[in-house]
Structure 1
């Protein structure tokens, strides 16, 4: 239903997380957008994502600087936005306002993770969302746009479907 509303397939690892958790936050810092059809009573998921991209994503008509693990600029390029083919699409955010995105190019299970800081800089992770979260929780991620170079404490808060948050 969500994929039909968006008009695209989502990565398998993300769908597994969505099936398991009603909400998911790591280190009280990084939260995943876990869409539920009831979350958008007056609009579609697609409209919600387009609104989020409009409000917080980097403009698709301005080049962003892509940085490496040390914060050095490695390229400057334009990122198109969903629903354009290969466009960026959000999947989470941090308490400091960084937006976590996919570069939705090709097979969804090969989409790269991007982290955007204030629409100017982008950092790219070579793996998918589950690899990103695993590496961050193991202290092996080096994203210079996230506090502590992208490493998260090993704490998470999950809300299983049908349970209330504590």
Structure 2
């Protein structure tokens, strides 16, 4: 059983996912790196799905490029803060070697990133609040992180647990 199988059991994919399909070779060429296979599989099945009505994968397809364009602007957007506060910034940023590359975003403006060192399917997930520059790392792949967060087995100090969004009044 894979993490993707667990995800589809936990939340069945929508019948017509929004912004789910496109040319991964083109995306990876634009980024200058291969992306994890579980992320590509998730985007193909869910597209820009709004998990727990809070967390959305940054699909590179469809009406808005949520992945490549923002990734290419990340270093420039955060450079001044990082240069002024090096102790608050423990990770390099894409396109720096091994840099953080966002793969999902939250309604609070938090980012769920990969730490891009090593082989793509072995990248660590880092949850990051760019407003306060705090983060925590989870040594799991993207879909495994998502399943863990949705099921309550993984928590992050950066944003609330999924259960807080799905509890009924």
TM-score, with length taken from structure 2: 0.70
Gaps of 5+ in 2: 1-25
Q: 2:97 maps to what in 1?
A: 85
Residue by residue, what CA displacement relative to the aligned partner does 1:21-70 show, whole Å, maximum 9, x if unpaired? 33121111111101116635xxxx644322245447994433355xxxxx
Q: Tell whether the 8 Å contact from 1:63 to 1:79 is kept in structure 2 after alignment.
A: no
Task: Please identify which structure carries the higher strand content.
Answer: 1
Q: Does 1:63 align with 2:86?
A: yes
Q: Does 1:107 align with 2:132?
A: no
Q: Tell whether the 8 Å contact from 1:57 to 1:116 is kept in structure 2 after alignment.
A: no
Q: 1:4 aligns with which of 29, 32, 41?
A: 29
Q: 1:97 maps to what in 2?
A: 109
Cα distance, 1:20–1:64 mapped onto 2, change above 3 Å: farther
Residue pairs, 1:39-58, within 5 angstroms? 39-40=64-65, 46-52=68-74, 54-55=76-77
TM-score, with length taken from structure 1: 0.71
Cα distance, 1:57–1:31 mapped onto 2, change above 3 Å: farther
TM-superposed CA distance for 1:153, in Å, is 6.2
Which one scores higher on RCO, CA 8 angstroms, separation ≥ 6? 1
Task: Please identify which structure carries the higher helix content.
Answer: 2
Q: 2:58 maps to what in 1?
A: 33
Q: 2:146 maps to what in 1?
A: 133
TM-superposed CA distance for 1:78, in Å, is 2.9
Residue by residue, what CA displacement relative to the aligned partner does 1:80-125 show, whole Å, maximum 9, x if unpaired? 1111110111111111121111100010011111111224211111
- When the two chains are superposed, the root-mean-square deviation of aligned CA atoms in Å is 2.6
Q: Tell whether the 8 Å contact from 2:43 to 2:57 is kept in structure 1 after alignment.
A: no
Q: Give the number of equivalent residue pairs.
A: 138
Gaps of 5+ in 1: 66-76, 156-166
